[in-house]
Amino acid sequence: MSDIPTHVETALPAETKAEPYRVLARKYRPTRFEDLIGQAALVRTLRNAIASGRLASAYILTGVRGIGKTTTARIIARAFTCTGADGTLTQPTAEPCGVCPNCRAIAEDRHVDVLEMDAASRTGVNDIREILEGVRYRPTMARAKIYIIDEVHMLSTAAFNALLKTLEEPPEHVKFIFATTEIRKVPVTVLSRCQRFDLRRVDAEELSAHFAGLAAKEGASLEDEALKLIARAADGSVRDGLSLLDQAIAHGHGTVTADQVRDMLGLADRGLIFDLFEAAMSGRAAEALDLLARQYAMGADPATIVTDLLELAHWLTRVRIVPASADDPTMPEAERVRGKAMAERLSMAVLTRTWQILLKGLDEVRLAPAPLSAAEMVLIRLIYAQDLPTPGEALKALASGRSVPAGGGAPAPGGAPSGGARMAVGETAVFSSAPPAPVPQAEPTASAVILPASFPALVAFLSEQNEARMAMHLHQDVHLISYEPGKLIFRPLPNLERDFPHRLAQRLEALTQRRWAVAPSADEEGEPTLRRQEEETERRREADAAKHPLIRAVVETFPGTTITRVRMREAADDAPDAADYGDPEE
């Protein structure tokens, strides 16, 4: 019997282990200042500061998400710690080598002297204390200790306060770099101790060119219009655009068309948006609703369609005001030619009215339980609004003796409402030829507002006009010096706002149609405040009531009884005593 091997060793061909896939946003993350796109001012300032040795102890970087704040912070950290390829560099450099131990350690997120902290997850003062305890120790391997705090606006008030003294007088070997998307939430005491850099949104044209170069490196083919759609959807954010580019390459399996990008993003076809806008502005209701339904069936969100109509209305308005806007290179040639022709036919009044209708309608679509139905109602409102004349046309019609129609006529057989202004006919309003009804002329009368005769009457007048706050201030925060209708002088209490006299004069002028002189003065003491006068009057009434024989009898009969309020009432004609103090409350 032949021997059967119990163990067999096989030698497979040596293969290189495939590296795990890295998303484009990480794979092409800038590592040098010159790799940053759209931030020329920032790069120039930092380069000059490093070259001249004018280095701040703290920097704060602000901008929208995905614009490169943390990336820039890491590049600055490299510039501060780089020792050069030969290890002889002893000063910060604007050209980090990328190969020295410090540069490699920062790139691999393992540098012991470059500490990154996410303030969104570590917001407390104890987290900051951990950092501050290490500030006093010198760096281990770099020439400086660098603390990068991302989303710094998320720190608590106590954490910010703990940072202040160290930020103002940090050790020479310590640098702070903060990044935030909400610069207004950072206390001014912190901002005043940092050099601030605002990272700008990258324009769509520059993003499109950048994405085209990266797509070529990845071996993917994208149409120019597809790149422009991705750049426009990125809204100035490089990281957002790279994420969309990554998704588009996977969606198109290496070859990406504009239609595929639209499907991926849920966008409406731009040509159909132009068709829809033109149908609505021309009053073709049936065609407009059909185009909306077609785009909805293709997967476009109703809110996105209304948003696209808003953007188109805005762009047409810009073209109407500045014709050179029609030469925007990010817009396809067909859209530029068509949009310029539409802008020439539409008046500014119609475009601004369209903007308002669509802007209000966008909120309705987002909140509606049936977005498609809400979008249809917005379109119908826009179509029938074309029946309405512009304000200028209405004034001309009234001046010439013609009446202005109320609009809202039934749709014509072709689907368009009857009458009204139409884009195709140059926005000329249609008016009826019936003679206008005579308007009765009101006889001139004196001012309907009677000026308050006294200061208490003025306070009551303001209360009646729903100006309770002003009435309250006059009641308890001013000492009257003199008052006459149209003129008020008083001594203010310290808690009264400085601009109160100016605001009061403006409001009184608006309510009475007469100019008022309202002036504070500290030269005279003035009368007690109305509140103090009322309190004094109440105390006198209580004292007088306590002397009344009937009240004294009640107090003696029921020990512990107190008078809490005295209400005055008119005495009856047959009452024996005209001065009736009323009944005690308790």
Kindly state the average pLDDT of the residues 391-408. Answer: 61
CATH assignment at residue 87: 3.40.50.300
Kindly state the average pLDDT of the residues 79-105. Answer: 89
Query: What phi, psi does 165 have (nearest 5°)?
Result: -65, -40
Q: Is residue 5 pLDDT above 60, yes or no?
A: no
Q: d(Cα 281, Cα 309) in Å, to the nearest integer?
A: 11
Q: Is residue 14 pLDDT above 50, yes or no?
A: no
Tell me what pLDDT residue 372 has: 92
Pairing assessment for the beta strands 487-492 and 517-520 based on DSSP bridges: parallel
What is the domain range of residue 568? 530-586
Q: d(Cα 11, Cα 9) in Å, to the nearest integer?
A: 7
Write out pLDDT tens, residues 303-347: 989 998 998 999 899 888 888 877 776 666 667 788 888 888 888
Per the domain annotation, does 227 fall within a domain?
A: yes
Total domains in the chain come to: 5
Q: Is residue 439 pLDDT above 90, yes or no?
A: no
Residues 42 and 165 in one domain: yes
CATH assignment at residue 364: 1.20.272.10
Kindly state the average pLDDT of the residues 502-526. Answer: 85
Looking at the whole model, is its pTM more than 0.75? no
Q: Is residue 199 pLDDT above 70, yes or no?
A: yes
Kindly state the average pLDDT of the residues 123-138. Answer: 87
Residues 232 and 191 in one domain: no
Kindly state the average pLDDT of the residues 529-544. Answer: 85
Residues 45 and 167 in one domain: yes
Tell me what pLDDT residue 75 has: 93
Domain boundary, last residue among 149, 175, 198: 198
Residues 30 and 179 in one domain: yes
Per the domain annotation, does 583 fall within a domain?
A: yes
Q: Confidence class of residue 195 from pLDDT cuts 50, 70 and 90?
A: very high
Per the domain annotation, does 366 fall within a domain?
A: yes
Lowest-pLDDT range of 14-18, 315-319, 496-500:
14-18
Tell me what pLDDT residue 356 has: 92
Residues 516 and 460 in one domain: yes
What average pLDDT does the chain have? 80
Write out pLDDT tens, residues 240-273: 989 989 888 888 777 888 888 877 876 666 778 8
Residues 513 and 557 in one domain: no
Q: Is residue 445 pLDDT above 50, yes or no?
A: no
Q: Confidence class of residue 9 from pLDDT cuts 50, 70 and 90?
A: very low
Q: Is residue 84 pLDDT above 70, yes or no?
A: yes
Q: Is residue 182 pLDDT above 80, yes or no?
A: yes
Q: Which residues contact 278 (CB under 8 A, 6 or more apart)?
A: 342, 423
The answer to whether residues 291 and 279 touch, using CB atoms and an 8 Å cutoff, is yes
Residues 175 and 214 in one domain: no
Domain boundary, last residue among 150, 180, 198: 198
Residue in the structure block whose two tokens are 């003062």: 125
Residues 174 and 208 in one domain: no
Q: How many CB atoms lie within 10 A of CB 476?
A: 15
Tell me what pLDDT residue 400 has: 67
The answer to whether residues 421 and 453 touch, using CB atoms and an 8 Å cutoff, is no
Amino acid (1-letter code) at residue 305: I
Task: Assign 257 to helix, strand or coil.
Answer: coil
**DSSP state letters, 76-120:** HHHHHH---TTS---S--SS--S-SHHHHHHHTT--TTEEEEETT
Residues 182 and 216 in one domain: no
Q: Is residue 466 pLDDT above 90, yes or no?
A: no
Domain boundary, last residue among 151, 175, 198: 198
Q: Which residues contact 218 (CB under 8 A, 6 or more apart)?
A: 24, 249
Q: Confidence class of residue 191 from pLDDT cuts 50, 70 and 90?
A: very high
Alpha-carbon Rg of the chain, whole angstroms? Answer: 38
Tell me what pLDDT residue 16 has: 45
Tell me what pLDDT residue 261 has: 85
Per the domain annotation, does 431 fall within a domain?
A: no
